[in-house]
Amino acid sequence: MSNVCVPVAVALLLAWGPGAEGAVSSNDSQQLESASMNQGGGNVSSSGFRQRSSIGEAIAGHRISSTSFRIAPGFLGASATGTPDVPVAELALQGLTAKTDPGAFGQTITAATWQADRDPVFYWEPPLTGAEVAGYSYALDAAPDATIETIATSVHVATLSPAFLSDGRHTFAVLAVNSAGNVGEALTFEIWVDTTAPVILGYTPATGALLNTLSPVFHVELSDTSSGLTSDTVTLTINGDVVPIQWDPATGTLTFSGAAPWQEGVNSLSLTAADAVGNAAAPVVWSLTIDVTAPTGTVVINGGAAATASAYVTLSLAAEDAQTGVTRMQISNEAAAGFVEEPFVALRELWLLTPVRGTRQVYVRFFDQAGNASATVSDTIFLDLQAPETLLTDGPASLSAEPSATFTFTCSEPPCVYAWAFDGEAWSAWSEAMTATRSGFSSGNHYFRVKAAKDTNGRSGIQEDEEDPSPAERTWVVGHETRLTVPKGPPVKLWRVE
């Protein structure tokens, strides 16, 4: 015979005469623990196995009074020969749930779903044989043991240390422990916490950007480590209009390209981003400017003069742009040969024309700050160069045995100054001397160059347009002429042998 203690909602300790054993009654159900008894002429017996017998309302539903019975709430005691373990199934919790707050105002939290509550309340239902439960053991992100943590059937994370769950996925586990140290099977609840807003890492076009297209490509980089973002949780507004976006969760980027919301001039943009549970990043608001209209302008050479005697001229430049202003210009004497880029100025002095007599043309195009280029404009002027012509008057013969040479020269409109050079030397300084002598030439080919110049524009020094654009040149050879010598002697006779 065993001495058995069974937890029930309402328990009666029944003691009667010899041969009678114990039963536990809870409402309409009774549990017979290794006992034998007689009620209403029938016997229920057990010889060592746990038994259950329904005995109707005889005990649970009727008032019992007898001098043979001792009635007391609590546990049923009977003669015992041992203390067997309670099966785990008898300590099985009946359910485990979570809510955002204690009581009726808390909202139910769905397991394994991202949500934003970090201090939930966990509730569980005790085992059906709850009278034997001594308490409960629970753990977060670990397995509970046989140590009783609480005798209540709930735990509020706000009362723990730390008093909140970190962002991420967690598992709450709880099990029942009886007075003998036996534990039931643990119930678990997987709870996913996300309380951190997404992060806007960067975006283009950036604040203050200047574009020259009405179809710019927009790009934003976003990050959210938990519940994530979708196209429905990110909003891009351009000039008050919400625009469609394309979201790529693999790269964390969204893009938009389109022409409809953009306008020439200043454009206002705003970006809002929230994750799947509603954590929202602070809105980002900025502006950019679009300029797609090219500037216009004109160029005038020497104030509109018809001709000039100097290849250096002054360019009068005028240009305008409605949105961003003119910042650069390109100038060329030959449009097909390329342009020289310079900052925009209203007066460009000392622009060098191609130093060739005749009608010369200057081409200009203007650029605004956004990079839009104007149509090419031009102006012409007749260049009447006053530079003298260089004349070589004397020099060595084309073949000379002498290792030295002297050249003389003059110009078409003396007096002039001259610069000269032998072979690959640099030009000499300007001089009024009209001769040039050099010795020590090695055998072989040599050449000489000389150019004349005349100060005609009144500026100090010789400018490029004041010198002969086509210097005079002469080549000669230093060495000895080779002759074929015929030996003297009797004439050579030739004959044929037959």
Do 80 and 93 share a domain, yes or no? no
For residue 2, is it within any domain? no
Which neighbouring-strand residues pair with 313? 351
**Tokens 């342009």 appear where?**
339
Do 129 and 41 share a domain, yes or no? no
Q: Residue 48 above 50 pLDDT?
A: no
Peptide bond into 205 cis (omega under 30): yes
Do 214 and 285 share a domain, yes or no? yes
Domain edge (last residue) among 55, 84, 113: 84
Task: Identify the CA nearest to 272 among candidates 232, 216, 299, 302.
Answer: 232
Do 459 and 397 share a domain, yes or no? yes
Pick the range with the lowest mean pLDDT from 194-198, 368-372, 388-392: 388-392
For residue 496, is it within any domain? no
For residue 397, is it within any domain? yes
For residue 274, is it within any domain? yes
Do 77 and 23 share a domain, yes or no? yes
For residue 492, is it within any domain? no
Do 396 and 470 share a domain, yes or no? yes
**What pLDDT band is residue 448 in, cutting at 50, 70 and 90?**
very high
> According to the model, what pLDDT value does residue 93 have?
94
CATH code for the domain of 253:
2.60.40.1220
Task: Identify the CA nearest to 226 among candidates 253, 272, 191, 271.
Answer: 191
Mean pLDDT of 46-68: 36
State what percent of residues in the chain have pLDDT above 70. Answer: 78
Number of Cβ atoms within 10 Å of the Cβ of 138: 22
What are the backbone angles phi and psi of residue 145, rounded to the nearest 5°?
A: -115, -155
Peptide bond into 487 cis (omega under 30): no
> According to the model, what pLDDT value does residue 408 have?
97
How many angstroms separate the CA atoms of 152 and 137, rounded? 10
Q: What is the pLDDT of residues 287-337, one digit of tens each?
A: 999 999 999 999 999 999 999 988 889 999 999 998 999 999 999 999 888
Q: Residue 25 above 90 pLDDT?
A: no
> According to the model, what pLDDT value does residue 393 have?
94
**What pLDDT band is residue 90 in, cutting at 50, 70 and 90?**
confident
Mean pLDDT of 438-461: 90
Domain edge (last residue) among 136, 170, 193: 193
Highest mean pLDDT among 60-64, 101-105, 435-439: 435-439
**What pLDDT band is residue 11 in, cutting at 50, 70 and 90?**
very low
How many angstroms separate the CA atoms of 213 and 263, rounded? 10
CA atoms within 13 A on the CB side of 26: 16
Mean pLDDT of 245-258: 88
For 445, the token pair is 């080919």
Q: Mean pLDDT, the chain, as a whole number?
A: 82
Q: Residue 211 above 70 pLDDT?
A: yes
Q: What is the pLDDT of residues 379-427, one digit of tens each?
A: 999 998 778 889 999 999 999 999 999 999 999 888 999 999 999 999 9
pTM: 0.55
Contact 347, 317 (CB under 8 A): yes
Do 117 and 137 share a domain, yes or no? yes
Mean pLDDT of 357-386: 94
Count structural domains, the chain. Answer: 5
Do 184 and 266 share a domain, yes or no? no
Q: Residue 141 above 90 pLDDT?
A: yes
Name the pairing type of β-strands 199-204 and 241-243.
unpaired
Does residue 490 or residue 22 have the better pLDDT? Answer: 490
> According to the model, what pLDDT value does residue 130 have?
58
Do 123 and 163 share a domain, yes or no? yes
For residue 494, is it within any domain? no
How would you class 134 by CB atoms within 10 Å of its CB: exposed for 0-12, middle for 13-18, buried for 19 or more?
Answer: middle
Instruction: Give the residue numbers spanning the domain of 418.
Output: 390-478
3-state secondary structure the chain: CCCCCCCCCCCEECCCCCCCCCEEEECCEEEEECCCEEECCEEECCCCCEEECCCCHHHHCCCCCCCCCCCEECCCCCCCCCCCCCCHHHHCCCEEEEECCCHHHCCECCCCCEECCCCCEEEEECCCCHHHEEEEEEEECCCCCCCCCECCCEEEHHHCCCCCCCCEEEEEEEEEEECCCCECCCEEEEEEECCCCCEEEEEECCCCCEECCCCCEEEEEEECCCCCCCCCCEEEEECCEEECCEEECCCCEEEEECCCCCCCEEEEEEEEEECCCCCECCCEEEEEEECCCCCEEEEEEHHHCCEECCCEEEEEEEEECCCCCEEEEEEECCHHHCCEEEECCCEEEEEECCCCCEEEEEEEEEEECCCCECCCEEEEEEECCCCCCEEEEECCCCEECCCCEEEEEEECCCCCEEEEEECCCCCCCCECCCEEEECCCCCEEEEEEEEEECCCCCCCCCCHHHECCCCEEEEEEECCCCCCCCCCCCCCCCCCCC
For residue 487, is it within any domain? no
CATH code for the domain of 440:
2.60.40.10
Q: Residue 200 above 70 pLDDT?
A: yes
> According to the model, what pLDDT value does residue 476 have?
96
Domain edge (last residue) among 250, 271, 290: 290
Contact 174, 333 (CB under 8 A): no
Do 96 and 188 share a domain, yes or no? yes
**What pLDDT band is residue 87 in, cutting at 50, 70 and 90?**
low
> According to the model, what pLDDT value does residue 60 have?
36
Do 311 and 230 share a domain, yes or no? no
**What pLDDT band is residue 31 in, cutting at 50, 70 and 90?**
very low
For residue 6, is it within any domain? no
Mean pLDDT of 88-105: 89
Do 109 and 189 share a domain, yes or no? yes
Highest mean pLDDT among 27-41, 42-56, 241-255: 241-255
> According to the model, what pLDDT value does residue 35 have?
40
